[in-house]
Amino acid sequence: MLDNVYSKPLAILVILLSAVALAQVNPQRTSVVVNGRSGEAAVVSISGRTYIDVENLAQIANGSLGFHGQQITLTLPGSAASAPVAAPEPQHPAPRNGLSQNFMVAGIEVIAELREWGTTLAYAIQNNYGVTASWANDYRQKAAASLAQASAAASTDADRNALQLLRNEFANVGTWSDSLVKAKETMDTAKYSTSPDALRNEPLSQKIVTCGRFLAQMLGSGEYKDDGSCH
């Protein structure tokens, strides 16, 4: 029950309002503070309980009072001080090895270009199609453009570490492409057409395939990792 109108919550104060009690005794004008607003109101004490004039209360709180038959409606503006304060959302720092979204997208595009370069070249060599340095250079330029976009998208340490692995893969595919173009120019590609596994079993070819798969998985996971096949 309300024993002190200055310290009890406003919700309890409203429940204890009684105009009937005020009519039975002589009220006293007392200073009252409601939601930071102060004023005088008629207050009485009966049997150890405190009652306040609802009309005075509405005036002090800048509220409104309505009468509807046997029902009294008291509307008070909300108090900013009593409003619950939302707890700050916990901060979740980005994982130390986390890749940025933009870099992941650009990196996956690099892998796609390198894969197209390598598989197209391997198919042409195995089937004894005409392969020239100019023809292979078209694929090199496309892959280089994608690599440049990935470089521009790198914004974190994890991005830059992953970018170096992409550059290593690009360099390895370039070295492998140059060697096949040279072999074609010297007509030393017969071994690749007679055995479907000859080209796939070359150490550099296996290194490129292993690194490419690793990079695709790493970029898909969104977390930087390292692998010896990409060095």
Cβ-based neighbour number of residue 90 at 10 Å: 5
pLDDT of residue 59: 78
Assigned token pair, 56: 């005075």
Q: Which residues, including other chains, have CB under 8 Å from residue 227's CB and lie 6 or more apart? A: 165, 210, 211, 214, 218
HSE-up of residue 3 (Cα within 13 Å, Cβ side): 1
Compute the average pLDDT of residues 83-95: 52
Compute the average pLDDT of residues 68-88: 59
110-119, 136-145, 190-199, 213-222: the lowest-pLDDT one = 190-199
pLDDT of residue 97: 78
pLDDT of residue 87: 55
Of 169, 170, 171, 174, the closest CA to residue 121 belongs to 174
| Share of residues in the chain with pLDDT > 90 (%) | 49
73 compared with 224, residue with greater pLDDT: 224
Provide the edge-to-edge strand list for the sheet that holds 37-46: 28-34, 37-46, 49-52
Residue 90 has pLDDT above 90, yes or no: no
162 compared with 3, residue with greater pLDDT: 162
CA 133 – CA 184 distance, rounded (Å): 10
Cβ-based neighbour number of residue 19 at 10 Å: 13
Of 30, 22, 14, 116, the closest CA to residue 65 belongs to 14
pTM of the entire predicted model: 0.59
Compute the average pLDDT of residues 24-33: 69
Cβ-based neighbour number of residue 206 at 10 Å: 12
CA 69 – CA 31 distance, rounded (Å): 31
Residue burial 23-46, b: 16+ Cβ < 10 Å; e: rest: eeeebeeeebebbeeeeebbbbee
